[in-house]
A and B are shown apart, each in its own frame.
Chain A
Amino acid sequence: MAGDSLFGVHGAALQVRSQRMGVLASNIANSSTPGFKARDIDFQAALQSLEGGSATGIGAATKYRVPTQTSMDGNTVELNAEQTAFAENAVQYQTTLSFLNGRIGQITRALKGE
């Protein structure tokens, strides 16, 4: 397909990053809900299954987080870890965006024949 070769891996990467942002936001939202189990997306597994064209790609790559320290109310959200992961994911999302922007600029220049 033309769309696949135009943006390479970055189209799928942006989709996984966006999904991961939602999952991490859910963890932060439930930081004080008793019994809530934090989840995260395994980026590499999600990207591989998306590239392989599997329909349940991202869902299967969403795993429960193993807490470093358990809490008495059964909540496994560790706010520091979630905040770090969220910030990291935001930076990676922006990186993917700049890759896409660079590709678009390249194609536009080629089309204009400057």
Chain B
Amino acid sequence: MMSTPMTIFQVAGRAMSAQLVRMNTTASNLANAGNSAGSAEAAYKTMKPVFRTSFDQASGMATVDVERVVTAGEAPTKRYDPANPMADKDGNVFDAAVDESRELVDMMETARGYQNNVEVMQTAKSLIIDTLKLGR
């Protein structure tokens, strides 16, 4: 794949898919906010993608890839709630460690990043079409 020089469409397209992965993790985090589990291991933990620059020597351009998705953030919080059917033998449940306001901020930043890449792709497309019409 690296044998041919990267095009501007690949740069913007791969950045868009990376932002989409980030949006998916944010959606999972928000969907699981407020969940509780019977043990600290089973409780949901915040997921975050790790972005890494992928540099193309042939074209001098750089795009972004998702290297992996990691669990990040705080440990699940222990709460005493013996009435909960999920409670362990001591009567504790473990709430998912999701910071909702941080996830919402992340979601907005992701949407902005995605939109910017769409804009780049549209501009590049119209300029290339104009170049093809040269001399007509």
Chain A contact residues, CB within 8 Å of chain B: 14, 19, 21-23, 25-26, 28-36, 58-59, 62, 79, 83, 86-87, 90, 93-94, 97, 100-101, 104-105, 108
Chain B contact residues, CB within 8 Å of chain A: 8, 11-12, 14-15, 19, 22, 51-53, 59-64, 109-110, 112-113, 116-117, 120, 123-124, 127, 130-131, 134-135
Q: Which chain B positions have C-beta within 8 A of A26?
A: 11, 61-63
Is A59 within 8 A of B60, CB to CB?
Answer: yes
Q: How many pairs of residues, A versus B, come closer than 8 Å at their CB atoms?
A: 83
Nearest first, the 8 A-B pairs at minimum CB distance are: A29-B15, A26-B62, A104-B135, A33-B51, A22-B61, A26-B61, A25-B120, A25-B11
Q: A26-B62, A86-B120 are in contact. Are A32 and B134 (CB under 8 A)?
A: no
A1 to B59, CA, bound (A): 27
Is A36 within 8 A of B127, CB to CB?
Answer: no
